[in-house]
Amino acid sequence: MVDYEKQFEKPAYESGARLTHVASVFQIAYGWMCAGLALSGLVAWYTAASGLWKTVLMGPGLWVCIIAELAFVWILSASIRKLSVGAACLMFIAYAALNGLTLSVVFIAYELALVQRVFFITAAMFGGLAVFGTFTRSDLSQIGAICGMALWGLVVAVVVNMFFHSSRFDWIVSFAGVLIFSGLTMWDAQKIKLLAQAEGQMDGAMRHKVALMGALELYLDFINLFIYLLRILGKSRD
């Protein structure tokens, strides 16, 4: 278990070797995150444009995809150290592709120009939050803990509103989602750096798996920020 508080008690100076080590973890993590987003986007666009969504997401298909996504996230989170690098990478790719299927509803519900505009807004916002989380010397673990607990409340609120269909409550939930995932983005970016430092001299396999887990968390932060911003800034088709 990593003691994040002790990370902030260390001297500010870091050797060139340590900086290179941490930078390599960041390079892998953000590389996989971007690859996952690109794959999800392509799958979502093709599924919507080809009409495949009518076959995949109609009826119980949507719930099967959602349950499978949750299973992928749980297995990766719980077993990342036991899995081989190849297996972990394949699971991440499979998850990104599967998530692309469910994200195809975005291209169906919203105009393409709006989706593109909100994507670039999300990218700019995510980039700023990630940079702050990476370079700030403040301990963001408390923010991460608060946002993590608030996330459970957000899930409950979303489920409840599925029955009441309140547009006002939906706006409140959407703004809460942006705030929560903004906090998680900063914390997850900082956590990648702290994990890379705490692991010491990791071998190549462990470094890749730590980075891949960070990529999954950042990927989820980006996707959720994008969805909640889209719900705030966009108007769905009738």
pLDDT at 12 (0 to 100): 45
Percent of the chain with pLDDT over 70: 87
pLDDT mean over 86-96: 92
pLDDT at 7 (0 to 100): 47
For the stretch 49-76, pLDDT in tens is 998 888 887 777 778 888 888 888 888 8
Contact partners, residue 137, CB within 8 Å, separation at least 6: 8, 12
How far is the C-alpha of 213 from the C-alpha of 199, rounded, in Å?
14
pTM to 2 decimal places: 0.86
pLDDT at 121 (0 to 100): 96
195, 10 contact by CB (below 8 A): no
For the stretch 166-210, pLDDT in tens is 888 889 999 999 999 999 999 999 998 888 776 555 666 778 888
CB burial of residue 30 (10 Å; 0-12, 13-18, 19+): middle
Per-residue pLDDT at 9 exceeds 70: no
pLDDT at 200 (0 to 100): 55
CB burial of residue 129 (10 Å; 0-12, 13-18, 19+): buried
Contact partners, residue 61, CB within 8 Å, separation at least 6: 55
For the stretch 128-159, pLDDT in tens is 999 999 999 999 999 999 999 999 999 999 88
Where are the alpha helices (H) located in the chain, listed in sequence order? 4-7, 16-50, 53-56, 61-79, 85-109, 112-135, 141-164, 167-198, 204-233
